[in-house]
Structure 1
Amino acid sequence: MKTLIVVVGPTAIGKTALAIEIAKRFHTEIISADSRQFFKEMSIGTAKPSAEELAAAPHHFIGSHSVNQFFSTGDFEIQALDLIEDLFLQTDVLVLVGGSGLYINAVCNGLDDMPEIDLNIREQLNTQFANEGIDSIRKQLAELDPVYFEKVDQSNPQRMIRGLEVVLSTGQKLSSFLTSNKKQRPFNIIKIGLNTEREKLYAQINHRVDVMVASGLVEEVKSLQEFRHLNALKTVGYSEIFDYLDGTIDLPKAIDQIKQNTRRFAKRQLTWFKKDAETTWFEPTQTDQIIQFLDTQIS
């Protein structure tokens, strides 16, 4: 039986390092399920694996697409499953790693069939976001679909608009479409979750943001100003620096907002992943125990 090892957890917890150790143990390759690391133009603000990490084990879906390309969760499901099928011809074990719950779910369980959307409503919501900002979208989504609101990345307007356009087009909540039976995959799935004390995780997040800034985050965002209208750039670490470049906030404030928004995002990631009873949780320092656990499960 072929086995897909899935590594999940909040941002900055150490998923990449663990995935590499697992890949080295089983002489295999890594498939990224990070919805921002797909884009080749976004490196510092997405905390892509370093050159040394990429050299330590083969990686897929890192810098594989341009921000100009539309790349949906459904596209990822199709392309990732095709890749998995091809790679399983060469190996018995693969590693899927990432903090994007929707993308992990797409590979492991399959996507639900989504309803047709009234494109006029989508255009109206995009105009609302442009004129009134993200808080207006947040408030409306929280009222109309509170279940989806709690799951979604609330700093990502594209995801929130998606929830609103479904309920306004169909009268049904997007959360109601996310409950179908999961699809059976032709491989075994073992899910590993990483977590630690909240104070420690938040300290790691704050440190990572400081490293990003020192590594040239502001310069990276400056180089992407022509793309700022794209959904890929309307995300934590980029939106705040765009505000700084616009002169609406100073740099220390922008950095503080990135840290705060990233901490909030990590909390939502954990809420999402903790609902999956199939995930076995470890501290990020328990690499040896995780490898032993995987050896036992696979054998």
Structure 2
Amino acid sequence: MKKVEKRNHQKSSEEKRVINAHNTITKKTLVVVVGPTAVGKTAMAISLAQHFNTEIISADSRQFYREMHTGTAKPNAEELAAAPHHFIDSHSIDQEYSAGDFERDALELLNELFKKCETVVMVGGSGLFVRAVCEGLDNLPKAPEGIRGQLNKDFEQYGLDPLKERLLAIDPDYYAIADIDNPQRVIRALEVYETTGLPMSSYYQNKSAPQRPFEVVTIGLNMERSTLYNRINLRVDNMIEAGLLEEVKSLLPYRHKPALLTVGYAEIFDYLDGNISFQEAVDKIKQNSRRYAKRQITWFNKYGNTTWFQPNEKDKIVAYLNRFVS
């Protein structure tokens, strides 16, 4: 009798494993392609979208804005035609669009896309926006207007460096991975601390991620550092040739918008103000882009379960993904 019960128990366990395996295979999958700027994320995302016959969500926090084109390395017309893209040119620069807004809108879109696709590809280098979709940011506190207003006033009066020094003192963990050349990110982290007394990093380390109705598989692209830096420098040169200066001039009325307080725009504004030469501005864009790339790698290493590949390893990536999306 005991032997029969044991066999029945084994059969039940095996049946459970089969059911679980079936559920794993049939559950919808969000493939997230991340990595540093200029590494080749767009090309890989398009290739994967074509392979899995699906669509792409952009999680690049600057490619949302239709007025910002040259300085954001958006997919060109040919790339946009190669696979359906979402959140490219979806907003105007005069609209405020936060990571929380993106979380809400992207989840709504995913709900629709998963009705017709087993797999969806999301691509981007904006770590906070990627994290919003994959894990949620709902527990970040909203700062009182007084605190935000004072921090913005400090930034306008004294510049970014004193704010960065304050952030380093109160939250070295977040400082090490955040885009600290982006005033919006620095001010937001200081807001959180001054509102709650807790550093921004504590919210990432201690929060429990909400359950998503889909699997998340994160693919990171990286390459040898000197090669990546050469690609970044070449990209900046191409942006200059493509008319970055003229684009920034057209955006002067919006220069205080958060999206324009970023690499590639802030340096040209500094040139237009007469503070530095044009060549110094170009050199600073290259330097700040390289620094940003390094922080992107650190971010995606620290947060999320990222599996890293070279940009030319598509076959290896597909073989890896097939374990989750077959």
| TM-score (norm. length: structure 2) | 0.89
Contact 2:34 2:41 survives alignment (8 Å)? yes
Q: Which deviates further from its counterpart, 98-107 or 108-117?
A: 108-117
Report what 1:225 is aligned to. Answer: 252
Letter in 2 for 1:158: Q
Structure 1 unaligned segments of length 5 or more: list them: none
Report what 1:174 is aligned to. Answer: 200
Q: Give the number of aligned pairs.
A: 299
Report what 1:187 is aligned to. Answer: 214
Aligned to 1:294, the other structure's residue is in SS state helix
Cα deviations by residue, 1:58-104 (Å, 9 ceiling, x for unpaired): 00001101111111111000000000000111111110100011111
Structure 1 position 276, deviation (Å): 4.0
**1:236-247 map, 5 Å:** 236-247=263-274
Contact 2:64 2:88 survives alignment (8 Å)? yes
Q: Find out whether 1:95 has 2:118 as its counterpart.
A: no
Mark the CA change 1:116 to 1:93 in structure 2 (over 3 Å): closer, same or farther.
closer
Structure 1 position 252, deviation (Å): 0.8
Q: Which deviates further from its counterpart, 79-88 or 277-286?
A: 277-286
Structure 1 position 141, deviation (Å): 1.0
Structure 1 position 116, deviation (Å): 4.0
Q: Which deviates further from its counterpart, 150-159 or 38-47?
A: 150-159
Report what 1:279 is aligned to. Answer: 306
Aligned to 1:131, the other structure's residue is in SS state helix
**Which of 51, 74, 87 is the aligned partner of 1:61?**
87
Structure 1 position 230, deviation (Å): 1.0
Q: Find out whether 1:122 has 2:148 as its counterpart.
A: yes
**Which of 122, 125, 134 is the aligned partner of 2:160?**
134
Report what 2:290 is aligned to. Answer: 263
**1:79-94 map, 5 Å:** 79-94=105-120
Indicate the structure with greater helix content: 2
| Partner Cα distance (2:190, 2:323) in 1 | 45
Contact 1:112 1:177 survives alignment (8 Å)? no
Report what 2:67 is aligned to. Answer: 41
Letter in 2 for 1:90: K
Structure 2 unaligned segments of length 5 or more: list them: 1-26
Letter in 1 for 2:42: T
Aligned to 2:311, the other structure's residue is in SS state coil
RMSD of the alignment, in Å? 1.1
Aligned to 2:96, the other structure's residue is in SS state coil
Q: Find out whether 1:52 has 2:78 as its counterpart.
A: yes
Contact 1:33 1:100 survives alignment (8 Å)? yes
| Partner Cα distance (1:172, 1:18) in 2 | 38
Cα deviations by residue, 1:93-145 (Å, 9 ceiling, x for unpaired): 11010001111111111114122423212111111111111111111111122
Contact 1:37 1:63 survives alignment (8 Å)? yes
Percent of pairs identical after alignment?
A: 57
Structure 1 position 277, deviation (Å): 5.8
